[in-house]
Amino acid sequence: MADLLAQARHDLAIANRIVSHEGIIDAFGHVSMRHPNEPDCYLISHSRSPELVEASDILEYTLDNVPLKPLKPGVRPYGELVIHSEIYKARPDVHAVAHHHGMAFLPFCNTGAELKPLYHMGAQIGVKVPFWDSRDEFGDTSLLVLKPEEGRSLAKALGAHWLVLLRRHGVTVAGKTLTELVFRTIYSYRNAELQLMTQAQGMALSPLTPGEAKLAWERNLEPRPQARAWEYWSVRLKKAGAYPAGGAKKTKPVKTRAARKTKRKKR
């Protein structure tokens, strides 16, 4: 059997590197997942650019952002941990969260223009993409989400949705699984790029109907397309020499007497 925590750390390192390699998250952004063994805890790297994250960088936190183990000297946490922890508190169905400042989203974050699903993969933005404006409750800030009350406010704005745009800041994405999160993080970004390109033509948008969006959403999240996309992005990492080292070690199965006899016969 695989060590669930070791496998989760490895998968989270892969997820960090995928969203970086696919051009979504640069030096500033972070990806987390709910702890596989402790639902009231979560996993996230220490403060490091996602492109560089290794499984050994992944730390364990309670939902009050208390590390389960003392941090080593020189290891610093991300500043915006409350984005992740407060969403996990508010949404038991969320098992992975990403926050980034991808350039394709920033025009929407600045103007407040509505993001719409424009192709079948873009259905992953969900029924609606709400906005959160830190000025409404907190006035002038650094724009970073640093205080628990700011994180709670953001989680409230996300509500039952799967993306929330932070005015003049960036986007936060949620998923039921880590694979789904990566899928949504990438294709919501591609949809934003498509909307900008379409608007640049000066033509009217032709978004999906609610029925089309629902059917495309459900189809995209089936096991087959999810596995196909994860395999594609993982292989691209490997070809680029950017795949993280390690992985969960599996215990060797105990061989029965019958199995040993069968092996000897084959010889």
pLDDT band at 149 (very low <50, low <70, confident <90, very high): very high
- Residue 197 pLDDT more than 80? yes
DSSP labels, 135-196: HHHH-S--SS--SHHHHHHHHHHHTT-SEEEETTTEEEEEESSHHHHHHHHHHHHHHHHHHH
How many CB atoms lie under 10 A from the CB of residue 70? 7
- % of the chain exceeding 90 in pLDDT: 90
pLDDT band at 117 (very low <50, low <70, confident <90, very high): very high
DSSP-derived letter for residue 50 is G
Q: Note the pLDDT tens digit of each residue in 37-84.
A: 999 999 999 999 999 999 999 999 999 999 999 999 999 999 999 999
Per residue, the 3-state secondary structure of 87-124, as one string, reads HHHHCCCCCEEEEECCCCCHHHHHHCCCCCCCCHHHHH
Is the pLDDT assigned to residue 123 strictly greater than 90? yes
**Catalytic residue numbers, as ranges:** 80
What percentage of the chain exceeds 70 in pLDDT?
91
pLDDT at 260 over 70: no
| pLDDT on residue 267 | 45
Domain 4-266 fold? L-fuculose-1-phosphate Aldolase (3.40.225)
Give the pLDDT confidence of 14-34 residue by residue, as tens digits.
999 999 999 999 999 999 999
Closest to 165 (Cα-Cα) out of 125, 138, 220 = 125
- pLDDT, mean over the chain: 93
Identify the pLDDT of residue 1. 36
Q: How confident is the model at residue 247 (pLDDT cuts 50, 70, 90)?
A: low
